[in-house]
Amino acid sequence: MVSTTVQANPRPKYERTTDPRRMLTHAVLSEVIRTDWENVKGVLPARTATSIRYDKGATKAVAWDEGGRETKIHLPLQDGWHISDGNPFAIPNGQRSNAQNPDALYLYRSQDRSFSGPVGRGGFVGDYRGRVVDAVDGWSDVSGVALIGRESRVSSPGSPKGSNLHINADYSSGKLVFTGSSDDIGLANCLLTNILINNRLGLTEFNALVSGADANLVELAKTLPQEKLTALRQLLELVDIRIK
């Protein structure tokens, strides 16, 4: 398994914002809630820079990050605890689960009407430490979460390349070493660690990613399950052209 070395204090700080260019996407905010609850809970509930659109009674939806491309995803018809199917927005839309599963989130959606708008977090009464994902009305005028001092948001897959984390990564020693601001390093470290551990990506797969050899990735695509392919794409977005 790849180890990460952090060369600065990895603890980001958060504030409320009404600027969608600064708001964390749902995928990033979900990781922050999971890994840094004590620091982020004071700025919840919050909308995210991720939106979703679906029709009445539909089990398919379209999701996108602010300024990013639309992606079709599956959407369970009923509210409930689910784990993500690997979609790049971390929407809980896969296998049904329960509150005891730390990887599960509670999806709250409309069944009797269509919806198009931002995804919210932390606004449900009795919310399990921010684990309810609101894909319903009521979030358009709610502030989002931003990193203090950042003028633009941290991206997730589906976002413009220009808003990626401002970090450099050196893999020459066999360890991934991030250098950059403490805020960016903190989020990069928690996102990368989660992707590697949750998707059980090994050194062979990671080496193919950071080598920049397209042929290697093509060969991997023929053998890896979908969740690992999704994780590789997330990693590619996260450390895009910043491997020395």
- Condensed to tens digits (0 to 9), the pLDDT of residues 212-235 reads 544 455 565 566 666 666 666 666
pLDDT of residue 15: 92
- Same domain assignment for residues 20 and 84: yes
pLDDT confidence of residue 58: 95
Tell me how far CA of residue 97 lies from CA of 35, 125, 184, 244, in angstroms: 20, 20, 32, 41
Distance CA(110)–CA(17), nearest Å, equals 26
Task: For residues 99 and 22, state if they share a domain.
Answer: yes
pLDDT at res. 170: 63
The tokens of 136 are what? 């319903």
The pTM for the full model equals: 0.66
Let me know: does 22 contact 155? Beta carbons within 8 Å: no
Domain shared by 135 and 234, yes or no? no
**Is residue 140 located within the same domain as residue 45?**
yes
Rounded to whole angstroms, the Cα distance separating 115 from 109 reads: 9
Judge if 164 and 98 occupy the same domain: no
Of 113, 102, 167, 164, whose CA–CA distance to 136 is shortest?
113
State which residues form the domain around 203.
Answer: 155-238
- 31 and 80 assigned to the same domain: yes
Residues 107 and 169 in one domain: no
Q: Which residues of the chain have pLDDT under 50?
A: 1-10, 155-164, 213-215, 240-244
Question: What mean pLDDT, rounded, does the chain reach?
Answer: 75
Task: With both helix axes pointing from N to C terminus, report the angle between 226-238 and 214-221 in degrees, rounded to the nearest 10.
Answer: 150
Flag whether 138 is in a domain: yes
Percentage of the chain exceeding pLDDT 70: 54
Q: Does any domain span residue 164? A: yes
Q: Which SS3 state, helix, strand or coil, does residue 207 take?
A: helix
Domain count, the chain: 2
